[in-house]
């Protein structure tokens, strides 16, 4: 990890960019939504590897994934000469929260949840994230939620629900669905207080290595020390995709977007995940979705467009 002594540390601007190289405001106005959309589209590409990893030890795969991602992030930082501030004080708690909620417990909620609920139930829970981010995100920045963004978040959520559909569940499955919702929101909200100083690269790196340590411990305790040795070549290839595309690239895009357009508006783009998954399924030879799914896609697009419109009286 690259660090600088105190006199050498430059002022870090919004989203971790140097004040002298910060993109002009008009650049941020379109790169923020672009990065958020691309990041969530990559997350939706998990459909391409989920089937491959169905018989792999969950925690061993995730531990390898985040270890590889941490190593790649450190290499990128070293090659680019980008400095990552060392977390201090309460920042460790925020980063630990990001790692444990968004990376560790989220995976537990999804995997354990589908044993008690149909996958669509978990999908609907994740689809509710835009509403939570639109309402809670601004409060972390000590501002009021923007009504237009809150309405747009509801529209996006309705569209995402149409895409994912409904499903059956029991009380335990419902509990895991709620856990998934809270953890997915925590991945973004708990990063907001540290994004300005640590930047997207810093938050991503520290959250990833903390998650890797936790997941190795869980894997050793629940799956045994030999679990990682059971991974086959196709498991490792899928894990590499998770590490590079869905962790390194998607995390950097997402946290940069959150820093530029805020968690409320960025949260609208979580509606892209089920859309990307549906499209990815078709590209992999799956059945073409029915009319209700395409209606949901259209509703998601409308919601995102509504949310990105300037607030009345000026963009906040």
Average pLDDT over residues 292-314: 76
pTM (predicted TM-score): 0.77
The model's pLDDT over 111-144, given as tens digits with 9 standing for 90+, comes to: 787 778 766 666 677 777 888 788 887 777 677 7
User: 201 or 305: which carries more pLDDT confidence?
Assistant: 201
The model's pLDDT over 61-90, given as tens digits with 9 standing for 90+, comes to: 999 999 999 999 999 999 988 888 899 999
The model's pLDDT over 14-29, given as tens digits with 9 standing for 90+, comes to: 333 343 334 444 455 6
**What pLDDT sits at residue 29?**
67
pLDDT for residue 33 is more than 60:
yes
**Cα 316–Cα 37–Cα 53 angle in degrees, nearest 5:** 140
Among residues 105, 223, 222, 273, the alpha carbon closest in space to that of 175 is found at 105
Write the DSSP string, the chain. -----GGGPPPB-GGG-BTTTPPPHHHHHHHHHHHHHHHHHHHHTTHHHHTTTTTS-HHHHHHHHHHHHHHHHHHHHHHHT---PPP-TTHHHHHHHIIIIIIIIHHHHHHHHTTTB-HHHHHHHHHTHHHHHHHHHHHHTTSPPPHHHHHHHHHHHHHHHHHH----B-HHHHHHHHHHHHHHHHHHHTTHHHHHHHHHHHHHHHHHHHHHHHHHHHHHHHT-TTGGGG--HHHHHHHHHIIIIIIIIHHHHHHHHHHHHHHHHHHHGGGHHHHHHHHHHHHTTPPPP-HHHHHHHHHHHHHHHHHHSPPTTS--
User: 146 or 106: which carries more pLDDT confidence?
Assistant: 106
**What pLDDT sits at residue 17?**
39
Contact 307, 149 (CB under 8 A): yes
**What pLDDT sits at residue 316?**
42
User: Would you give the distance in Å from CA 5 to the centre of its chain?
Assistant: 31
* Residue 2 exposed, middle or buried by CB count within 10 Å (0-12, 13-18, 19+): exposed
């Amino acid at each position: 990890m690259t660090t600088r002594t105190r006199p050498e540390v430059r002022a870090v601007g919004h989203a971790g960019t140097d004040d002298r190289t910060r993109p002009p405001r008009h650049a941020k106005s379109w790169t923020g939504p672009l990065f958020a959309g691309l990041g969530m589209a990559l997350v939706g590409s998990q459909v391409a590897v989920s089937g491959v990893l169905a018989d792999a030890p969950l925690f061993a795969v995730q531990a390898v994934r985040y270890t590889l991602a941490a190593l790649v992030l450190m290499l990128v930082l070293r090659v680019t000469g980008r400095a990552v501030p060392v977390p201090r004080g309460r920042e460790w708690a925020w980063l630990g929260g990001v790692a444990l909620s968004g990376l560790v417990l989220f995976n537990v909620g999804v995997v354990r949840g589908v044993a008690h609920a149909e996958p669509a139930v978990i999908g609907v829970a994740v689809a509710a994230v835009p509403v939570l981010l639109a309402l809670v995100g601004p409060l972390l920045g000590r501002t009021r939620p923007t009504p237009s963004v809150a309405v747009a978040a509801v529209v996006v959520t309705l569209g995402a629900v149409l895409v994912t559909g409904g499903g059956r569940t029991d009380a335990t499955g419902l509990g895991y669905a709620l856990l998934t919702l809270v953890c997915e929101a925590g991945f973004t909200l708990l990063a907001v207080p540290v994004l300005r100083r640590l930047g997207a690269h810093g938050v991503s790196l520290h959250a990833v290595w903390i998650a890797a340590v936790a997941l190795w411990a869980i894997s050793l305790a629940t799956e045994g020390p030999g679990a990682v040795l059971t991974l086959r070549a196709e498991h490792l290839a899928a894990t590499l995709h998770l590490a590079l595309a869905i962790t390194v690239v998607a995390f950097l895009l997402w946290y940069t977007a959150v820093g530029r357009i805020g968690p409320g508006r960025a949260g609208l783009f979580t509606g892209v995940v089920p859309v990307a998954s549906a499209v990815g399924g078709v590209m992999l030879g799956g059945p073409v979705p029915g009319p209700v799914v395409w209606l949901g896609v259209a509703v998601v697009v409308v919601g995102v467009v509504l949310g990105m419109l300037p607030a009345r009286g000026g963009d906040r």
